Amino acid sequence: MLFRAQNHTGTSVLGYATSRDGIHFVRRSRPVLWPQAPYEKNGGVEDPRLVHIGSDYYLTYTGYNKAAAQLCLAKSPNLAQWTRLGVIIPANKGRWNVHWTKSGAILDRKINGHYWMYFMGDAAGENGANQMGVAYSDDLIHWTEPLDHPILGHRVGMFDSRVVEPGPPPVLTDKGILLIYNGADDQLAYRTGWALFDKDDPTHVLARSDKPVFEPQQKWEKVGQVPNVVFVEGLVTEPTRWLLYYGGADKHVGVVSTQLKYSEIKSWQPASTRSRVPVALTQSRIASASGFFRTTEQPAH
């Protein structure tokens, strides 16, 4: 796992942790990516999303230098040594973006001869910020926007009325391209939704959740650096379960498990039979403590 951490000055770096079961993690003592490039200095590196393509790992992340936040790319053969590939969606330009860019979620294979990525940008106008765009590339470095408007915008009065931000890299299913995304309402409470795109035309939205499938409930998801946040960025798919890794109140890292079939995206199940406390949507959360994970009922080990 790559995770964002901050030092005492608030500068963000990316750390590296390993696990045998996807739940109990041990962190390395030093970060694997930290601010070095001019577009990262003084602010940091944030918002990591990982995708495995060919023999390499590609990392999209936000480079923030306190003047602008921009969507960047890095490449690694082993997750530990990274080569920066630069800014891939610049700030303050684009077919519809007028300010910052963040949160690139890349599909791990080509469709119609192109790689496809969903990202967040800022449209012009009142409440235009923090909407989702789409771009395609032949080489993962040079990207083109096919649309002159966001592909997923805000919805008044709903859980994503203020922010529509990609989560983990999308997954190609028999029903289409499934993207889990993060939405925030007018009170900036973050919840999790999903969108389904046409697998033959990734710019065409087939379906979108009307209600969130995951929301803050535990104390450590409601109280922290930013209150009332569950923010999904990582995904591991297994035959019998999917593990989604998320930030809780911008302070902890958690994981939620779902017995998710590709065509069924509303059935969230407990991660462990040891979890006996009933919660909405039958979610089983796991909180972080000192670099290890624990269930909400048992101490870290």
Q: What is the SS3 assignment for 128?
A: coil
Q: Is residue 229 a part of any domain in this protein?
A: yes
Range of the domain at 230: 215-301
Contact 224, 202 (CB under 8 A): no
Residue 108 lies in a domain: no
**pLDDT, the chain, mean:** 86
Amino acid at residue number 292: F
Q: Has residue 271 got a pLDDT over 60?
A: no
- 169-219 tens-digit pLDDT: 999 988 899 999 999 999 999 999 999 999 999 999 999 999 999 999 999
Q: Encode pLDDT of 19-78 as tens digits.
A: 999 999 999 999 999 999 999 999 999 999 999 999 999 999 999 999 999 999 999 999
Instruction: Give a yes or no: residue 137 inside a domain.
Output: no
Contact 196, 208 (CB under 8 A): yes
- The string of pLDDT tens digits covering residues 157-183 is 999 999 999 999 999 988 899 999 999
Residues 29, 59, 67, 253, CA torsion sign: negative
Report if residue 251 sits inside a domain: yes
Q: Is position 279 within any domain?
A: yes
Residue 168 belongs to some domain of the structure: no
Element (H, E) at 14: strand 12-19
Phi, psi of 194 (to 5 degrees): -145, 155
User: What CA–CA distance (Å, rounded) separates 247 from 3?
Assistant: 9
- Mean pLDDT for 105-115 is 97
pLDDT at 15: 95
Domain for residue 283, yes or no?
yes
**The one-letter amino acid at 144:** T
Q: Provide the pLDDT for residue 179.
A: 97
Last residue of a domain, one of 91, 111, 126: 91
User: What is the C-alpha to C-alpha distance for residues 139 and 136, in angstroms, rounded to an integer?
Assistant: 9
Point out the domain boundary residue: 63, 91, 119. Answer: 91
The structural domain count of the chain equals: 2
Of 35, 66, 91, the residue at which a domain comes to its end is: 91
CB atoms within 10 A of CB 169: 24
